Amino acid sequence: MRALVFLLLVAAATAKVFEQCELARTLKAAGMDGYRGVSLGGWVCVAKWESSYDTAATHPNRDKSRDYGIFQINSRYWCNNGVTPTSNGCNISCDLLTDDISDSITCAKRVVSDPRGIRAWVAWRKHCHREDLSQYVAGCGV
Ligand SMILES: *[C@@H]1O[C@H](CO)[C@@H](O)[C@H](O)[C@H]1NC(C)=O
């Protein structure tokens, strides 16, 4: 029990909700602007609708897999959570819920490099495709 409380405190201490422009700057610095043809606004849009910019976001799926972090990386295909059988395409742990989003970014680049591209994200298909994506970086100076 004490260990559990400690783990929860650690998770709470290091998770983070990004400001929109802060995320835009972080993604730009990581080379995401235009990566595989997806604009910076497109990436920010995906993060907004997948996680509300909250690195601690997780979401259970019907197939018992789980999605993790700012880009909701899936435990069946892309990361290993030690529970779901996984192909672990990004060769990473699903421990993606901290303020350091570098693993999430690297994995998102891997995901978007598959034939499905950015359409791998439900949020893209529902909220970003055909929208004005410049609004997601407006006023950010990026
Ligand atoms: C996967 O990650 C492990 C540990 O980080 C590393 O040793 C291994 O070489 C990686 N495998 C591939 C296929 O990249």
Q: Which of 2-16, 55-69, 102-116 has the lowest mean pLDDT?
A: 2-16
Confidence at 103, pLDDT banded by 50, 70, 90: very high
Residues 77-103, mean pLDDT to the nearest whole number: 97
Q: Write out pLDDT tens, residues 115-133.
A: 999 999 999 999 999 999 9
Q: Is the per-residue pLDDT at 39 higher than 80?
A: yes
Q: For a pLDDT cut of 90, what percent of the chain falls above it?
A: 90
Helix-, strand-, coil-residue percentages of the chain, each rounded to 5: 45, 10, 45
Q: Is the per-residue pLDDT at 85 higher than 70?
A: yes
Q: Write out pLDDT tens, residues 54-63.
A: 999 999 999 9
50 catalytic per annotation: yes
Torsion of CA 107, 113, 114, 116, to 10 degrees: 110
Considering the candidates 22, 33, 67, 99, report the single residue annotated as catalytic.
Answer: 67
Q: State in Å: Cα 119 to ligand 1 middle.
A: 27
The whole-number pLDDT of residue 24 equals 98
Model pTM greater than 0.75? yes
CA gap 13, 38 in Å, rounded: 32
Q: State in Å: Cα 56 to ligand 1 middle.
A: 25
The b-or-e profile of 45-64 (16+ CB within 10 A means b, else e) is bbbbbbbebbbbbbeeeeee
67 catalytic per annotation: yes
CA gap 25, 16 in Å, rounded: 15
